[in-house]
Amino acid sequence: MGYVSSNTKPLLSRKATNEGHAENCPYFDGWKAYDKDPFHPSQNPDGVIQMGLAEHQLCFDLVQEWLVSNPEASICTKKGVDKFRDIALFQDYHGLPAFRNAVAKFMGRVRGDKVKFDPDRIVMSGGATGAHEMITFCLADPGDAFLVPTPYYAGFDRDLCWRTEARLLPVVCHSSNNFKVTRKALEEAYAKAVEANISVKGLLLTNPSNPLGTILDRDTLREAMSFINEKNIHLICDEIYAATVFRQPDFISIAEIIEEDQEYNRNLVHIIYSLSKDMGFPGFRVGIVYSYNDAVVECGRRMSSFGLVSSQTQYLIASMLSDDQFIGKFLLESAERLETRHKNFTDGLHQVGIKCLNGNAGLFLWMDLRELLMESTVEAETALWRGIINEFKLNVSPGSSFHCSEPGWFRVCIANMNEETMKVALARIREFVRRNGDKLNRKEKCRQSDLRLRLSFRRMDDVLRSPCIMSPHSPIPQSPLVRTRT
C-alpha cells in the first residue's frame, strides 16, 4: 500500500501504488543480467546478448543515406533551418497536414496499395503505447473488458488497463492449430465474460502477431469481423508490424476486410499503427490511431494533446515517408533483410533440433523448447529460462510473460543485432543444446541446474508473483541501454 499520511489518508493515488504498471515481476532478472553484463563483440564478448527487445536495426544504413541526401527534411540543417520557427511553434493537434498525408500514403504502400487511408482519420499519439491507452479511454469505461487472444504483447496489460481501469480477458489459443484464433475460442471467452457479468467492449487483435511472428489469414479476419458485428463490440487491430512481413502469405489488413461487405459497421473498427517496428524508430514516439468512427477520431484527436508527436519529428517523417522511391526501396530491402535474418536463425536452430513456429513476419521467432522442460509447468519454464540467461547469456523472453497457456515457448528477437552477434548467439544456442543432450538427460540436467538456480535465486523467488509482464523499457535506474548497441 502507498504512503499513509498522518491523518491516515493515502498520500498518493491508487494507480500510483497498485501494480497496474505491471513491472514488478521476476522477468527483470533477464534485463538486470543484460544491463549488468551487456555483450560487446570486442569489449565484452562473454556478456549477455539482448534477445528480448523487438527492435528493427537492420536498415539504418538506408535511412542514414537518405538523410544525408535530403537535408531539407530536417529543420536543423542549413537547408531546412528557415522552417525551424514555423515547425517549433506548430502544436495543432491535427498534426502537420504533410505528416498526415505521408503516414496515410505509407500505410497504403505497406498494404500493397490494396487499400487507401484517409489523412483526416490519422490521429497522433505517444507511440503505440499512447495509442492503445487513448483508444481504450475513448471506447471503454472502468471495468469494461477487451478480449485478447493469447499469447499477447506483455505491455497491453499496462497500456490498456492501468490508468483506464479497463480489463483484458484472454482468448486462449493453442499450439495444436498453430495458435489460430478460432471463432469457438472467441465465443467461449465472450460467454465466460457475460456469465461473470463483465461488459465486453471489444476485441483486440495484433496482426502480424507479437510474439508469434505470424499473420492472420483472411478467414480468421472475416470471422473476427463477423463476431464483433454480431456482438456489436469494437475491433481494435494493432498492425504495427505490418511492414515486417517478409514472405508469403501477404499481409491482409483489417482495412481490406472492412471493404468486403457493406453490412459491416465501420464505427466499430480501429487500427493502431506506429513507426517503431516497421521503420525502426521507437525513440521518435510516432503512434497513430486510425479509426473509421468519426466520433472516435474527434475524441482521440482531443486526447492526443496528452501525447502529440514532436513537430520536429513530424516534419522529418513527412518528408521521408512521402519519398516514394525511397520508401519503395526501403520496404523491399527491409523485407529481404528480415527474411535472411529469419532464415539464418531458423536454420541454425533447426540444425540443433530446435523448432520454431512457422512465421513470416515480425522481428522475432517463437521458439519451441517444450521438450526441454522437466515438466510442463510455468515453474519449469522459468527455471529453463534462468538457465538460458545465466549459463548461455541470452536474454530471451519466456512465453508466460506473454500469457501463453502452454509452457515451453520462448520469444527470441533477431533483428536488433548485427551479423556477428547473430553468429555468437547461434553458437551459444548450439552449445546449450549440446549440453542439454537428449530428452532424458535434459530432464536430469535441468533438475540439477534447477537446484543450483533455486539456491542462487532464492531472493528473486521471494518476489515471484503471478506471471507478469516485462517492460519494454529498462527499469534499471542507471540503464546502460544507450551504450549497449550490438
Partner 1 sequence: MEPASVRKHSLLSMIARNGGHGEHSPYFDGWKAYDRNPFHPTQNPDGVIQMGLAENQLSFDLIEEWIKNNPTASICTPDGVGKFKDVAIFQDYHGLPEFRQAIAKFMGRVRRGKATFDPDRIVMSGGATGASETLIFCLADRGDAFLVPSPYYPAFDRDLRWRTGVRLIPFACDSTNNFQVTLAQMESAYAKAIEANINVKGVILTNPSNPLGINLSKETLTSLLSFTFEKNLHMVCDEIYSATVFKSPAFTSIAEVMQETECNPDLVHIIYSLSKDMGLPGFRVGIIYSYNDQVVNCARKMSSFGLISSQSQHLLASMLSDEVFIEKFLEENSRRLGKRHSRVVEGLKQEGINCLEGNAGLFLWMDLRHLLKEPTPDAEMELWRVIIKDVKLNVSPGSSFHCPEPGFFRVCFANMDDHTVEVALQRIREFVSKGNKNGDDKKHWRKRDLRLSFTSRKCDESLISPRQIMSPHSPVPQSPLVRART
Catalytic residue numbers read: 153, 238, 240, 277
Contact with partner 1 (CB under 8 A): which of 305, 376, 418, 441? Answer: 305
Contact with partner 1 (CB under 8 A): which of 41, 62, 87, 229? Answer: 87
- Least distance in angstroms from the C-beta of 322 to partner 1: 16
- Least distance in angstroms from the C-beta of 80 to partner 1: 8
Nearer to partner 1, 12 or 464 (CB): 12
Site for partner 1 in 221-240 (CB under 8 A): 232, 234
**Which range touches partner 1 (CB under 8 A), out of 123-131, 211-219, 366-374, 456-464?**
123-131
In angstroms, the CA 345 to CA 302 distance is: 44
In angstroms, the CA 211 to CA 357 distance is: 10
Binding of residue 81 to partner 1 (CB under 8 A)? yes
Contact with partner 1 (CB under 8 A): which of 423, 435, 445, 473? Answer: 473
Binding of residue 450 to partner 1 (CB under 8 A)? no
- Least distance in angstroms from the C-beta of 379 to partner 1: 28
Size of the site for partner 1 (CB under 8 A): 98
**Which range touches partner 1 (CB under 8 A), out of 14-22, 344-352, 402-410, 426-434?**
14-22
- Least distance in angstroms from the C-beta of 82 to partner 1: 8
Binding of residue 1 to partner 1 (CB under 8 A)? no
Contact with partner 1 (CB under 8 A): which of 30, 38, 52, 130? Answer: 130
Nearer to partner 1, 404 or 468 (CB): 468
Cβ atoms of 214 and 359 within 8 Å: the answer is yes
In angstroms, the CA 170 to CA 287 distance is: 25
Binding of residue 16 to partner 1 (CB under 8 A)? yes
Cell numbers that stand for 243 in this block: 511492414
Contact with partner 1 (CB under 8 A): which of 30, 151, 208, 280? Answer: 280
Binding of residue 220 to partner 1 (CB under 8 A)? no
Binding of residue 86 to partner 1 (CB under 8 A)? yes
Residues composing the chain: 486
Cβ atoms of 300 and 135 within 8 Å: the answer is yes
Nearer to partner 1, 12 or 427 (CB): 12
Binding of residue 210 to partner 1 (CB under 8 A)? no
In angstroms, the CA 208 to CA 252 distance is: 9
- Least distance in angstroms from the C-beta of 269 to partner 1: 11
- Least distance in angstroms from the C-beta of 437 to partner 1: 38
Contact with partner 1 (CB under 8 A): which of 74, 206, 214, 390? Answer: 74
Cβ atoms of 410 and 399 within 8 Å: the answer is yes
Site for partner 1 in 54-73 (CB under 8 A): 55, 57, 60, 63-64, 67-68, 71, 73
Site for partner 1 in 158-197 (CB under 8 A): 158-159, 162-163
Cβ atoms of 103 and 288 within 8 Å: the answer is yes
- Least distance in angstroms from the C-beta of 362 to partner 1: 17
**Which range touches partner 1 (CB under 8 A), out of 212-220, 331-339, 442-450, 468-476?**
468-476
